[in-house]
Amino acid sequence: MRNPGGQNSYSALDPKKYTDSFSILPRLKRLVLYFILGCVLALIFVDGYLVLQNKRIETQLARTRQYIDNIVGR
């Protein structure tokens, strides 16, 4: 049986329930956590991209050196 107006009913005027249900601190903690996780993931992707770019540049540099060596005749 339901308890209308009893001890366990929700009251919009109950300050404890109001502050608990609309507290900004858990949302702020979650936002900061997601921001940090996003930054870590972004750094991982940027690092991977830069490693791939570095390998591409090294390959191009090796080809250029080989081309120059062939022209000079070493």
Rounded to an integer, what distance in angstroms lies between the CA atom of residue 50 and that of residue 44?
A: 10
pLDDT digits (tens, 9 = 90+) for 11-63: 556 555 555 556 788 889 999 999 999 999 999 999 999 999 999 999 999 99
pLDDT tier at 73, thresholds 50, 70, 90: confident
Residue 6 has pLDDT above 60, yes or no: no
Specify the amino acid at residue 56: R
pTM: 0.53
Specify the pLDDT at position 14: 56
